[in-house]
């Protein structure tokens, strides 16, 4: 089975596709760091937006070394997540779902970060509500 990422062929049949041989720059997606004093109502204490896209950035920040998305062969076909098992990339949508769930659970750390840097109680409460809403949204889509 040969697949492509960004025009680069991937040969999973031979089991040779590894982080070292992929030729992909896995460190290219990095969130911008900002001063915690400049956090706005849309930004969390980690400098990422308090939105679904911000959560996607958190997911990439935390797991980009271990996970890879490969689109389906056509626009209407489903893609697959590949997870690195220490030796090679393996298709593993279940592991990707577990990591996404972990990203949502870790949103509670934003509340702790906000408290540590001295954000006011309204900001801390808003972060807690965002965390709860994300967990509720995840449970609604998982059921």
The yes-or-no verdict on residue 42 having pLDDT over 70 is: yes
Left if phi > 0, otherwise alpha if psi is -120 to 50, otherwise beta: which for 104? Answer: alpha
Task: Identify whether the C-beta of residue 75 lies closer than 8 Å to the C-beta of residue 84.
Answer: no
C-alpha distances in Å from residue 67, one per residue of 17, 53, 81, 108:
13, 17, 7, 23
**Percent of the chain scoring above 90 in pLDDT:** 34
pLDDT at res. 117: 84
Residue with tokens 């980690």: 46
Q: What is the pLDDT of residue 139?
A: 64
Closest CA to 68 of 105, 25, 101: 25
Confidence of residue 120 (pLDDT cuts 50, 70, 90): confident
The label of the residue with tokens 């990339």 reads 89
Computed over every residue of the chain, the mean pLDDT equals 76
| SS3 at position 63 | helix
Q: Is 63's pLDDT higher than 80?
A: yes
Per-residue pLDDT tens digits for 88-98: 999 999 999 99
- Domain edges within the chain: 2-142
Query: Does the reported pTM lie above 0.85?
Result: no
CA angle 95, 68, 23 (to 5 degrees): 145
Residue 11 in contact with residue 17, Cβ under 8 Å?
A: yes
User: Residues of the chain with pLDDT > 70: what percent?
Assistant: 67
């Amino acid at each position: 089975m040969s697949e492509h990422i960004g025009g680069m062929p991937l040969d999973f049949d031979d089991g040779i596709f590894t982080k070292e041989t992929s030729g992909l720059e896995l460190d290219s997606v990095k969130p911008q760091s900002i001063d915690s004093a400049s956090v706005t109502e849309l930004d969390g204490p980690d400098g990422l937006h308090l939105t679904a896209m911000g959560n996607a950035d958190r997911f990439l920040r935390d797991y980009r070394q271990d996970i890879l998305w490969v689109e389906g062969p056509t626009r209407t076909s489903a893609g697959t997540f590949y997870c690195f098992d220490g030796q090679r990339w393996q298709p593993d949508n279940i592991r990707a779902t577990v990591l996404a769930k972990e990203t949502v659970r870790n949103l509670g750390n934003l509340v702790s970060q906000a408290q540590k840097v001295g954000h006011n109680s309204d900001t801390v409460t808003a972060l807690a509500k965002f965390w709860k809403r994300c967990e509720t949204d995840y449970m609604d889509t998982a059921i």
